[in-house]
């Protein structure tokens, strides 16, 4: 297995099938539109490949907040269902942690949906813990992917 960082929209678009395990109804047009807004703000993706097949992927971006200083955020973390519980997720979080250290970040943050207990267990096992609540007020559900 090989791990590779994806930095261009073209590279990211080519892995849409893996992203669709998380967002099954995501169109290529919507994905490209979102990526066009995200990439200029430090968004990259890290992907795990078995031969030429992407079996795990996560997005991440760095930013700065007053309470934490510089941080790295994990976004859109997905492992192909046939490869779950085989260390792919750990490969991704280990890489993200190394990247955060290289970027001199104080922390790594992420959101996990409240009902996604498998993700909660995984992140707890990787040393993550809840620090607060991420409140959401939906203004137009039709614009959302989930």
Query: Each residue of 72-127: pLDDT tens digit?
Result: 999 999 999 999 999 999 999 999 999 999 999 999 999 998 999 999 999 999 99
Q: List all residues 6 or more positions away from 20 whose beta carbon is below 8 Å from its beta carbon.
A: 26
Euclidean distance between CA atoms 105 and 85, whole angstroms: 28
| Tokens describing residue 138 | 């939906």
Distances (CA, A) of 143 to 31, 33, 37, 45, 139: 12, 12, 14, 22, 9
Give the pLDDT confidence of 111-121 residue by residue, as tens digits. Answer: 998 999 999 99
Distant-in-sequence, close-in-space partners of 9: CB < 8 Å, separation ≥ 6: 32, 35, 36, 39
Residue 55 DSSP one-character state: E
CA angle 6, 51, 48 (to 5 degrees): 40
How would you list the strands of the sheet with 44-50, edge to edge? Answer: 2-6, 44-50, 53-65, 69-79, 107-110
Q: What is the C-alpha separation between 146 and 133, in angstroms, rounded? A: 19
Q: What is the pTM of this model?
A: 0.91
Helix (H, G, I), strand (E, B) or coil at 116: coil
144 pLDDT more than 90: no
pLDDT at position 133: 87
């Amino acid at each position: 297995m090989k791990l590779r960082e994806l930095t261009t929209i073209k590279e990211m678009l080519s892995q849409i099938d893996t992203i669709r395990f998380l967002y099954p109804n995501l169109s290529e047009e919507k994905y490209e539109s979102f990526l066009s807004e995200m990439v200029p703000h430090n968004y990259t993706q890290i992907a795990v490949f078995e031969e030429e097949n992407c079996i795990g992927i996560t997005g991440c971006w760095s930013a700065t907040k007053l309470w934490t200083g510089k941080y790295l955020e994990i976004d859109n973390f997905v492992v192909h269902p046939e490869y779950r519980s085989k260390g792919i997720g750990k490969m991704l979080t280990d890489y993200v942690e190394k990247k955060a250290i290289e970027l001199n970040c104080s922390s790594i943050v992420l959101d996990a949906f409240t009902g996604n207990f498998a993700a909660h267990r995984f992140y707890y096992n990787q040393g993550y813990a809840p620090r607060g609540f991420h409140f959401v007020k939906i203004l137009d559900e039709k614009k959302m992917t989930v």
